[in-house]
Structure 1
Amino acid sequence: MSTGNPRPLISVDSHVVEPKDLWLKRLPQRFQHQAPQVQSTDKGDYFVVPNTGMPPKPVGTEGAMINTKINGVITRATGYRFEDQRPGAYDPAARLIDQDSQGVRAEIVYPGWLIVHSIPDFDLKVACVRAYNDWLFEEFCAHDPARLIGAAALPVGDGPIEPAIEEARKWAARGAKTFLLPQSVPGKAWGDDHFEPLWAALEEIGLPVGFHQAAGQVAMFNDKTTPGVFWTTAIGNKISLGWVFMQLVYGAVPERHPGLRFILVEGGIGWIAFQLNTMDHMFTDHHRWTVPELALKPSDYFNRQFWATFEDDRPGILTLPMLDEKRLMWAGDYPHTEGNFPFAQEQVAHDFQGVDEATVAAITHDNAIDLFGLSIPALTRA
């Protein structure tokens, strides 16, 4: 665990693990038979969404983590009872203690049960998202809104776009700093006309919009016949954020809405330089065939309207000479097993070897203040 005077950090991608009875308490009666919940078996505890056809998911895969270091190597073990999780996963007071131990001044908080975005019944999904947002802002983040900064989830899927717009306006009016969309909506691309009223409303509201990997699923990375399907899905979810970027750019969403700001959350940054270079090359060679016609190169849209987050990406840091540092932000991913708690300071020191102090401070702290408009002083540097 970090000691002494740690580097101040802001995590732009952390998570909460929702109470096991959140939806049992908050959903309308007509949805109670499908309320997401934790069920205990002799093999462990599972997240389930009953009567929907969705498979159960072990609690441990959502962040029931204990990190230890053996011979200098971080090992991660997950408990499979809800109560075995680290208290900071669901207790905001305990979360702040863990933040302090890592030098984390604030966190953007995303859901733990990202599977809620995959609920097939649209009305149930809308009800679940509304209940989650109410709990997140009224209970968890209310403990310290300056440090626990919730991302308001927007319900999108096989249904009307109005509920998403309503949630966005509701929480923007109540002080939210950012929104959450899934990485994909089956059968729809982000440039489809279906989403146009949402983009117009979000541009008017003016808050940044995050697409989080593993919220929703990308079919090409969810092939159950592929060996090692867990790994192909987990890695594919991250890769898919480059696909999200392409859908938005080639769907002309940033072209039509230059005031929108997008965040590609938990996909790392090592892919960005290659993808922008390739997309720019294709634009230069083939832009006369592009429909709809784009006025700018893909990299111009990225450097104007996109940000990306990472928690452990030394290869991505090595591509910094080809990127705009203002578009990159560090994340702790607490309390997930892929995160770096309780070794955030060590991970930052490793990833940023050889990088100047001003750049490190920008990526691990100041860029988040600028993007989200946080009431936290920027770091002063000599």
Structure 2
Amino acid sequence: MSTGNSRPLISVDSHVVEPKDLWLKRLPKRFLHQAPQVKSTEQGDFFIVPNTGMSPKPVGTEGAMINTKINGVITKPTGYRFEDQRPGAYDPIARLEDQDSQGVQAEIVYPGWLIVHSIPEFDLKVACVRAYNDWLFEEFCAHDPNRLIGAVALPVGQGPVEPAIEEAKRWAARGAKTFLLPQAVPGMAWGDAHWEPLWAVLEEIGLPVGFHQAAGQVAIFNDKTTPGVFWTTAIGNKISLGWVFMQLVYGAVPERHPNLRFILVEGGIGWIAFQLNTMDHMFTDHHRWTVPELSMKPSEYFNRNFWATFEDDRPGILTLPMLDEKRLMWAGDYPHTEGNFPFAQEQVAHDFQDVDDDVVSAITHDNAIDLFGLDIPRLVKS
């Protein structure tokens, strides 16, 4: 792969757009009447999950690029057909070509249709997640598993944890490198005792576990009566990854499982310094009487057990003196309109201006190699 004078990059948060008939082909027969699929209408193509009460979503609202950015402008994603999306969203060959054009050596690949995590019927959700994982690894990532590195989705919700445990074990045995959990399960904080068997198994397996913003239903910032509800939800999804961090720390999950590794995916990093400082302050004042008991400051758990990703966060970069650079990782977020394609190199240069080159290489490249155990040469000699 030739990147010319480009800086080598590894994206720890990219996405695939699933084939419109994936679940029609792979679900057991008893679920086919509810199979997620794409429906074509005169108004455009829509993602639907029939017979579940879930609302249709126009193709494009999940963020996949319809056209390449021109002067930073994206055309409004309504009324389009599935095939109007950028081919690299669903075609692995086209994806690798787009990677090459950006100097991206590898990507951690997350789902495109994250709303599958919100399917209300638990058995259907489990079947859909398993079918997605099979397709991701057997078809999409199989084209080049060293560069297209799938995140195994774990089925969780209003149901037992055993299906998630089984899926984690199934894919760990097949060489997976990371897992995906939704950012929220309504009514169940991540520190709840319900999840304890899952944490124990994931700690034993030893692979990093990502919480992706907008996956699942968000427990906060979900007031449908608020004006500009799209904007409040979109921004609230990102901000509430800090809420996920608090649930885990204050629920004593990393206290009980010191070897778990968590990733806060696509929430940016500008909030971290403020939140850690505030949480440490509260810990100093109140830890002697709060339950559960914690043995370390919240910032110490973060710097031992957590990583965070961003694609465009100059304010966050300016807080680097207050953070551990080894806990931060760059992402391209391809093919989403919020991502930085086809200007990844320019975005990195802008965000990291005046930052030491070894630090840039660590955040945009080497930290991902270390966390996921990638077979790619590091840029910084340690």
Taking the aligned partners of 2:347 and 2:242, their CA distance within structure 1 comes to 24
Mapped contact 1:366–1:378 kept (Cα < 8 A): yes
Mapped contact 1:65–1:336 kept (Cα < 8 A): no
Structure 2 equivalent of residue 66 of structure 1:
67
Structure 1 residue 381, shift from structure 2 partner: 6.5
SS in 2 for 1:308: strand
Structure 1 residue 67, shift from structure 2 partner: 2.8
Structure 2 equivalent of residue 217 of structure 1:
217
SS in 2 for 1:281: helix
Mapped contact 1:65–1:335 kept (Cα < 8 A): no
Taking the aligned partners of 1:363 and 1:247, their CA distance within structure 2 comes to 26
Structure 1 equivalent of residue 32 of structure 2:
32
Taking the aligned partners of 1:361 and 1:27, their CA distance within structure 2 comes to 42
| Structure 1, unpaired ranges of 5+ | none
Structure 1 equivalent of residue 73 of structure 2:
75
Taking the aligned partners of 1:219 and 1:369, their CA distance within structure 2 comes to 32
Give runs of ≥4 in structure 1 deviating > 4 Å. none
Mapped contact 1:181–1:212 kept (Cα < 8 A): yes
Structure 1 residue 76, shift from structure 2 partner: 1.6
Structure 2 equivalent of residue 128 of structure 1:
128
Mapped contact 2:361–2:380 kept (Cα < 8 A): no
Report sequence identity in percent: 86
1:87-126 matches, within 5 Å, as 87-126=87-126
Structure 2 equivalent of residue 341 of structure 1:
341
Structure 1 residue 28, shift from structure 2 partner: 0.6
Aligned: 1:155 with 2:137: no
Aligned: 1:181 with 2:181: yes
1:215-364 matches, within 5 Å, as 215-364=215-364
SS in 2 for 1:337: coil
Q: TM-score, normalised by structure 1?
A: 0.97
Q: State the Cα RMSD in Å.
A: 1.3
Taking the aligned partners of 1:186 and 1:359, their CA distance within structure 2 comes to 38
- Number of equivalent positions: 378
1:323 alignment partner AA: L
Taking the aligned partners of 1:363 and 1:380, their CA distance within structure 2 comes to 11
Taking the aligned partners of 1:152 and 1:220, their CA distance within structure 2 comes to 25
The more displaced of 61-70 and 355-364 is 61-70
Structure 1 residue 293, shift from structure 2 partner: 0.3
Structure 1 residue 221, shift from structure 2 partner: 1.5
Taking the aligned partners of 1:154 and 1:104, their CA distance within structure 2 comes to 27
Taking the aligned partners of 1:4 and 1:375, their CA distance within structure 2 comes to 21
Taking the aligned partners of 1:46 and 1:207, their CA distance within structure 2 comes to 35
Taking the aligned partners of 1:9 and 1:57, their CA distance within structure 2 comes to 32
Distance 1:204-1:381 versus aligned 2 partners, 3 A rule: closer
Structure 2 equivalent of residue 86 of structure 1:
86
Structure 1 residue 144, shift from structure 2 partner: 0.3
Structure 1 residue 289, shift from structure 2 partner: 2.1
Q: What CA deviation, in whole Å up to 9, does each residue of 1:77-114 have, x standing for no partner?
A: 24621000111000001100000000000000000010
The more displaced of 177-186 and 216-225 is 216-225
SS in 1 for 2:354: coil
